[in-house]
Amino acid sequence: MNPIITAFVNGIKKSGLELSNIVVVSDIPFEPEVIKEAGVDFFHVTRGRAIAFGTGLKLGNPDLKVVAFIGDLMTLGGNHLVHSGRRNMEMLVICVNNFIYKEIAGTPAPSVSPGFSAFSTFERPFNAPHLANSCGAVYTARWTALHTNELENSIANALDKRGFSVIEVLSPGPNFYKEINQVDSELLDFYYKNSVTKNNEDTRNVEITPEEKIVTGEFTDKEKSPFIDTYNAQLGKILGDKFIPLGGQSGRD
């Protein structure tokens, strides 16, 4: 099974949540048999729309634990991530980052295709944990796909959070348009070995650059009222007994 999905399944087990309470929405085309083995309800959606679709699922059934798998490091649908963080929508976003640098920590990366464009990485990528933290996420983390135990624990921790959580998973391929289950093992091992774990690091300091080792770890962990709680509280205060709260919770303290 794909190592990221394996970590996801094991993370669910560690969280103690029932599979029937979890729904996955993704703009990444996982193979059907992989998702079937995961044992959860799954929706495959248009590229860049996983978070928006997941928001609809959460509002339609507040009892669900929604997990959104996204790709492209938010280059499509980035505004959805920004506003979900601002609202603190209760959802776990797992961002599978298929980036590729020819060099990390000053060392050339192996197995890079000769056809790889020399001009493809001159733009600075998003610092995903810092972006999520700045927008209001209650939990952020980053691991490579080979940090299997750490990723499992992060997924379990994030599933336990009441709010918006983002985990970035580095799973680079040797060239563009690479399927998620076809990553180069030698290249992935290179990024794993050229990373350093710094838990609780300020997210402003975890930008990925070719000059420094990749910073992995759990960075943000805080508590804040999720969107549905604030929605119920505000509308309950205004509408009183006329208001029917989402999720069966009282709209008034």
Q: What is the mean pLDDT of residues 53-77?
A: 88
Q: Given a cut of 90, is residue 93 above it in pLDDT?
A: yes
* Domain residue limits, the chain: 3-222, 226-253
Q: What is the mean pLDDT of residues 80-100?
A: 91
| Of 7, 170, 13, residue with least CA distance to 97 | 170
Percent of the chain with pLDDT over 70: 81
Q: Please, are residues 158 and 92 in contact by the beta-carbon 8 Å criterion? A: yes
- Look at residue 177 in the predicted model and tell me its pLDDT: 43
- Look at residue 3 in the predicted model and tell me its pLDDT: 84
Q: What is the largest CA-CA distance in the chain?
A: 67
Q: Given a cut of 80, is residue 56 above it in pLDDT?
A: yes
Q: Given a cut of 60, is residue 121 above it in pLDDT?
A: no
| Of 153, 168, 150, residue with least CA distance to 208 | 168
Q: Please, are residues 75 and 57 in contact by the beta-carbon 8 Å criterion? A: no
pLDDT single digits (tens) 175-218 = 444 455 555 677 778 888 889 999 999 999 999 888 889 999 99
- Look at residue 184 in the predicted model and tell me its pLDDT: 61
Homologous superfamily, domain 3-222 = Thiamin diphosphate (ThDP)-binding fold, Pyr/PP domains (3.40.50.970)
Give the N- to C-terminal CA distance of the chain in Å, as an integer.
Answer: 46
Per-residue pLDDT band at 11 (split at 50, 70, 90): very high
Q: Cα separation of 54 and 66, whole Å?
A: 6
Q: Please, are residues 92 and 167 in contact by the beta-carbon 8 Å criterion? A: yes
pLDDT single digits (tens) 143-178 = 998 999 999 999 999 999 999 999 999 887 554 444
Instruction: Say which amino acid occupies 178.
Output: K
Q: What is the mean pLDDT of residues 225-239?
A: 95
- Look at residue 182 in the predicted model and tell me its pLDDT: 54
